[in-house]
Each structure stands twice: as C-alpha cells, then as structure tokens.
Amino acid sequence: MRTWIARALLLGGIMVVSSACASSDEVAEWRKHPTHFASGGHAMFSFRNTEGSPPRVRRSDVERARTEQWWGRVITVSPGQIIQE
C-alpha cells in the first residue's frame, strides 16, 4: 500500500515537472522569435521601388496589406464589456 502511494506521488511529481518544462520551453521558443507579428505582410507590401534605391515600407503599405488580407468579422468583446466612456 505504502509502495503504491509512493509510486503514485512520484508519477504525479514527474507529470507536474515535465508539464512545467514544456510550458517554459514553449514560452522561451516564442520569445526567440521576435517576428511574432504579421510582418509576413512583407511579401504583400507595395514597395515603392525605384531603380537603384532601397525599398521603403510605409505605414500606409502595412494598412493596405491588412485590408487585402482581411478575413471578416471576429468574435470579440464589445467596448461596453470592458470600458465606459
């Protein structure tokens, strides 16, 4: 009986530790990737390319890329649920 309890505790402990490690790993991995935002719009930005000069991305280009990629309305909180004016 005592052995069974000890095994159960050991197994439980291992599960807790391993799940914590996985979570920490995932956070660490996420943090290693600074491009964690839709900079993927890169390819879609309308670069103002002129020959011989480097491309420039403006906020308006970011906006245009987002508009083109918009996929519809999102289920989200309404302002009245979170703030009052």
> Which residue number, 9 or 17, has a Cβ lying nearer to another protein?
17
In the list 3, 35, 51, 52, the residue contacting another protein (rule: CB under 8 A) is 35
Structure tokens at 84: 């009052």
When the beta carbons of 10 and 60 are compared against another protein, the nearer one is 60
**CB of 63 within 8 A of CB of 69?**
no
Cα separation, 47 vs 80, whole angstroms: 39
Structure token pair of residue 26: 């995932």
Residue 34 makes contact with another protein by CB under 8 A: yes
| 28 belongs to the binding site for another protein (CB under 8 A) | yes
| Closest among 38, 41, 67, 61 to 49, alpha carbons compared | 61
Residues that bind another protein (CB under 8 A): 22-23, 25-31, 33-42, 47, 54-60, 62-63, 65-67, 69-85
